[in-house]
Structure 1
Amino acid sequence: MISVVIPSYNRRDCVLALLADVHAQEGADFEVIVVDDRSPDNSVEAIRAAFPQVTLLVNEKNGGPAVTRNRGIRAAKGDIIVGLDSDVTVPDRHVLANVQKRFNQHPNVTGLAFRLYKPDGKSEDTPRWWHPVPIDQYADKSFLTSYFSGTAYAFRREELIEAGMYPEILYMHYEEVELAFRILDKGGSILHCPELSVLHHANEVSRRSEVSVFYKPRNQLLVAVACLPGLKAVQYAVPRMAFQFLTACRRGHLKDFIRAMRSASQLIPRRLEKREPLRPETMKRIGALKQGLAP
């Protein structure tokens, strides 16, 4: 069975539209779990009224996307997790059936990365293309990758849990990057599947400047500390911190950058306690994937 896990925060109309699409799916056995992250609107009441068959969980306090997704994954009964952010729609009624088909075709694949379109259904959602290969050459192809977007994905539940699920310490942003690293380090693989597609409506909640000026530089540093071997961590973090610093100066966000670095310094000891550098074999795989190779 497939468990569809939908994290939701302050997106009542969006999540209702998504739930309508999910419940229109054909050819698959599935359950639906919505985890509300203490929305200040009436999302909870609206979901209960319109979709009483949905398993609805409500966080006691706002925990962020990583916490919210993990709660849904833990509650899931299916052996496959399909994660959909609440600001997507799913016009294709056979997406879940195709997810099951793909996993049957590729028994050794851990996860599937969906193709993300803009609302017009034709344009690629380029800001969320973080795969290690060029979007213009690979968007319509199946390929092994070192990344997936939390906007829309599918994973085998047991392997997702074994990899540690989303790192909750990050709150939001770069949590998929670290989880992808952990999946690869466990010997798993992620396959980009262009036929598994959703429309991403990029709700304003997800475009807050706080993501770019605070969470991005902070979490880039925290991921490097937790995941990358010594020299690789330095090579990863230093140019990114320099770029973020210069960008903050140019755009007038220096105070935010300093705040991000202060927060990172407070969290680094906790990251060092559980630091697990990626294996050399994993680093080689990631390097090969950047060249479009399938190790």
Structure 2
Amino acid sequence: MISVVIPSYNRRDCVLALLADVYAQEGADFEVIVVDDRSPDDSVEAIRREYPQVTLLVNEKNGGPAVTRNRGIRAAKGDIIVGLDSDVTVPDRHVLANVEKRFRAHPTVTGLAFRLYKPDGKSEDTPRWWHPVPIGQYADKSFLTSYFSGTAYAFRREELIEAGMYPEILYMHYEEVELAFRILDKGGSILHCPELSVLHHANEVSRRSEVSVFYKPRNQVLVAVACLPGFKALQYAIPRMVFQFITACRRGHVKDFMRAMKSASQLIPRRLEKREPLRSETMKRIGALKHGLAP
């Protein structure tokens, strides 16, 4: 069975539209879990009223996407997790059935990365393309990757849990990057599947600017500290911090950048306590994936 896990925060109309699409799915046995992250709107009441069959969980306090997704994964009964952010729609009524087909066709694959379109259903959602290959050449191809977007994905639940799920210390942004690293380090693999697609309406939350000026530089440091071996951590973090600082200077966000670095320095001791550098074999695999390996 598939467990569809939907994190929701202050997006009542969006999550209701997504639920309509999910319940229109054909050819698959599934349950739906919505985890509300203490929305200030009436999302919870609307979901209870219009979709009483949904398993609805409400966080006691706002915990962020990583916490919210993890809670849904833990509550899931299915052996496959399909994660969908609340600002997507799913026009294809056979997406869930096709997820099952893909996992059957690739029994050693851990996860499936969906193709993300803009609302017009034709344009690629370029800002969410973090795969290690060019979007123009690979968006319509199946390939093994070191990344997936939390916007839309599918994983075998047990392997997702074994990899540690989303790192909750990051709160939001880069949590998928670290989880992908952990999955690969456990010997798993992630397959980009262009036939598994959603429309991403990018209903930006009010904290979106906070992502670019605070969470992004902070979490880049924290991921490097927790995941990357010695010199690789420096190679990863230093150029990014230089770029983020220059960008902050140009855009007048130096105070935000310094706030991000202060927060990172406060969290580094906690990251070091649980630091697990990726194996050398994993680093080689990540490098090889930049060449667009076929499944």
Same fold by TM-score greater than 0.5: yes
**Deviations, residues 160-189 of structure 1 (Å, cap 9, x unaligned):** 000000000000000000000000000000
| Count of aligned pairs between the two proteins | 295
2:147–2:180 CA contact under 8 A, matched in 1: yes
Contact 2:66 2:167 in 1 (8 A): yes
1:123-157 Cα deviation digits (max 9, x unpaired): 00000000000000000000000000000000000
**Partner Cα distance (1:292, 1:203) in 2:** 31
Q: Tell me how large the CA RMSD over aligned residues is.
A: 0.9
Secondary structure of 1:206's match? coil
SS, match of residue 194 in structure 2: strand
The answer on whether the counterparts of 1:288 and 1:294 sit within 8 Å (CA) in structure 2 is: no
| C-alpha separation in 2, matches of 1:69 and 1:274 | 21
How big is the shift at 1:37?
0.1
TM-superposition CA deviations, 1:74-94 (whole Å, max 9, x none): 000000000000000000000
- 8 Å CA contact 1:33–1:56 kept in 2: the answer is yes
Query: Are the counterparts in 2 of residues 5 and 72 from structure 1 also a CA contact under 8 Å?
Result: yes
In 1: Cα distance, 2:230 partner to 2:139 partner: 33
Pairs within 5 Å for 1:1-295 = 1-205=1-205, 208-293=208-293
The separation in 2 between residues aligned to 1:283 and 1:110, in whole angstroms, is 18
Q: Is the 8 A contact 2:2 2:80 kept in 1?
A: yes
1:292, CA displacement in angstroms?
1.6
Shift of 1:6: 0.1
Structure 2: segments with no counterpart, 5+ residues: none
- Regions of 4+ moved over 6 Å: none
User: Which residues of structure 1 form unaligned runs of 5+?
Assistant: none
CA, structure 1 residues 206+89, in 2 after alignment: closer, same or farther (shift >3 Å)?
A: farther
In the TM superposition, what is the alpha-carbon distance from 1:14 to its structure 2 partner? 0.1
Q: Is the CA contact 2:227–2:278 (under 8 Å) kept in the aligned structure 1?
A: yes
The percentage of aligned residue pairs carrying the same residue is: 93
CA contact (8 A) 2:26 2:97 kept: yes
Say whether the 8 Å CA contact 2:119–2:200 is kept in structure 1: yes
Cα distance in 2 for partners of 1:37, 1:90 equals 22
Provide the rounded CA distance (Å) in 2 between the counterparts of 1:290 and 1:262. 33
Deviation at 1:291, TM superposition (A): 1.8
3-state SS in 1 of match to 2:93 = coil
Q: TM-score, structure 2 length as denominator?
A: 0.99
1:206 deviation in Å? 7.1
> How many angstroms does 1:207 deviate by?
6.6
Q: SS of the residue aligned with 1:115? A: strand
- 8 Å contact kept, 2:14–2:86: yes
Q: 1:293: Cα distance to partner?
A: 3.1
Distance 2:141 2:176 in 1: 21
